[in-house]
Amino acid sequence: MMIDEFLNYLKYEQNCSPLTVKSYAEDLKAFETYFKNLDGQLSWESVDSDVIRDWMESMMDKGNNATSINRRLSALRSLFRFALAHHLVEKDPSRALRGPKVGKPLPQFVKETEMNRLLDDLPWGDSYQEVRARTILLTFYATGMRLAELIGLDDSAIDFANRQLKVTGKRNKQRIIPFGEELEAALTLYLNTRESQVSGQTEALFRTDKGERMNRNQVRYEVKKYLSCVCTLKKRTPHVLRHTFATAMLNHDAGIESVKKLLGHESLSTTEIYTHTTFEQLKRVYTNAHPRA
């Protein structure tokens, strides 16, 4: 039997793990069951590309995602390559077939109402730790900068006169990000609080209680801690706040080219994923609001 020969090849010649061999066996036997139920006269030697294509469509109809369908198609291709090399079949019907496209997951973001609750309604105290945490959250939300960019900020990066921050991004590329009155007030309060409560000689803008530059894990902890107060997203990270910034900008009519520059993206296609996010939001609004939707 062709499947058995192929599985023995995987096991004894390719030294595949028992789990891998089992996975191949399940996928290949599922296809064999499919084409035998389709037509009792079909065999591995007579299966053509149309049968494989029908099989993929049947899996899509059953709700299988693109990743699992592509995995099964890959198992089938491996079998036919083996069979062709060992003269068990005369042609490979899977060769010209393409699997379904795997869509990129849409970026998660915090809702605008949740960000308002976080920044406006939480009972923020005047301790250094709380003032710092709120300023970090607002900086991410107001600028869309990356985690590495935030922890790399020095005091000298702030230009209060022009309300802008100089950020060093990937490959040491620098860009200027403007900010508004709210972040100006938050940064001013933060610096005054830091001056009175924390000592240290570092140039870092965001410092630990001991006056040292904050690291990635410390900032991630702060962000997760406070986002957990207002949302239930699985991911509650600085990068989610970057997504939140981009989504908010586009929802409030910012041009995609402007958002691209603010985020420091090199390619417009990288920024375009946020337009899909806003479109999904529009679809939900439409479905909920239109009487005939």
For residue 121, give the CATH number of its domain.
1.10.443.10
Query: How many domains does one find in the chain?
Result: 2
Print the domain residue range for 12. Answer: 2-85
In this structure, is residue 96 part of a structural domain?
no
Q: Catalytic: 265? A: yes
In this structure, is residue 106 part of a structural domain?
no
The one catalytic residue in 95, 170, 216, 283 is: 170
Residues near 46 by Cβ (< 8 Å), separated by ≥ 6?
A: none
Do 137 and 8 lie in one domain? The reply is no
Do 211 and 164 lie in one domain? The reply is yes
Q: Catalytic: 170? A: yes
CA distance 11 to 167: 53
Do 182 and 285 lie in one domain? The reply is yes
The pLDDT of residue 282 is 66
CA distance 239 to 245: 10
In this structure, is residue 143 part of a structural domain?
yes
Q: Catalytic: 242? A: yes
Do 63 and 156 lie in one domain? The reply is no
Do 209 and 74 lie in one domain? The reply is no
DSSP string over 109-141:
---HHHHHIIIIIS---SSHHHHHHHHHHHHHH
The pLDDT of residue 280 is 67
Q: Which residues, listed in sequence order, are joined to residue 245 by a DSSP beta bridge?
A: none
In this structure, is residue 165 part of a structural domain?
yes
Q: What six digits make up the tokens of 127? A: 């301790």
Do 181 and 235 lie in one domain? The reply is yes
Contact in structure between 231 and 221 (CB atoms under 8 Å): no
The one catalytic residue in 207, 236, 242, 260 is: 242
Do 75 and 131 lie in one domain? The reply is no
CA distance 67 to 65: 6
Do 71 and 166 lie in one domain? The reply is no
The one catalytic residue in 77, 163, 239, 261 is: 239
Contact in structure between 99 and 69 (CB atoms under 8 Å): yes
Q: What six digits make up the tokens of 213? A: 């530059």
Which CATH number belongs to the domain containing residue 12 in this structure?
1.10.150
Q: Catalytic: 141? A: no
Pairing label, strands 158-159, 174-178: unpaired
pTM > 0.75: no
Strands, sheet with 174-178, edge to edge from the N-terminal-most edge strand: 158-159, 164-168, 174-178
In this structure, is residue 238 part of a structural domain?
yes
Cα angle 225-227-233, degrees, rounded to a multiple of 5? 115
Do 80 and 204 lie in one domain? The reply is no
In this structure, is residue 146 part of a structural domain?
yes
In order along its 293 residues, the chain shows pLDDT tens digits of: 799 999 999 999 999 999 999 999 999 999 999 999 988 889 999 999 989 998 998 888 788 888 899 999 999 999 999 999 999 999 999 998 988 887 767 788 999 999 999 999 999 999 999 999 999 999 999 999 999 999 999 999 999 999 999 999 877 889 999 999 999 999 999 999 999 999 878 999 999 999 999 999 999 999 999 999 999 998 899 999 999 999 999 988 899 999 999 999 988 888 888 877 776 666 776 677 766 65
The one catalytic residue in 146, 236, 243, 260 is: 146
Q: Catalytic: 86? A: no
In this structure, is residue 100 part of a structural domain?
no
Do 131 and 237 lie in one domain? The reply is yes
Do 273 and 134 lie in one domain? The reply is yes
Q: Catalytic: 24? A: no
Do 7 and 64 lie in one domain? The reply is yes
H-run or E-run covering 225: helix 216-227
In this structure, is residue 98 part of a structural domain?
no
| Amino acid (1-letter code) at residue 152 | G
Distances (CA, A) of 209 to 193, 213, 214, 264: 12, 10, 9, 31
CA distance 55 to 12: 30
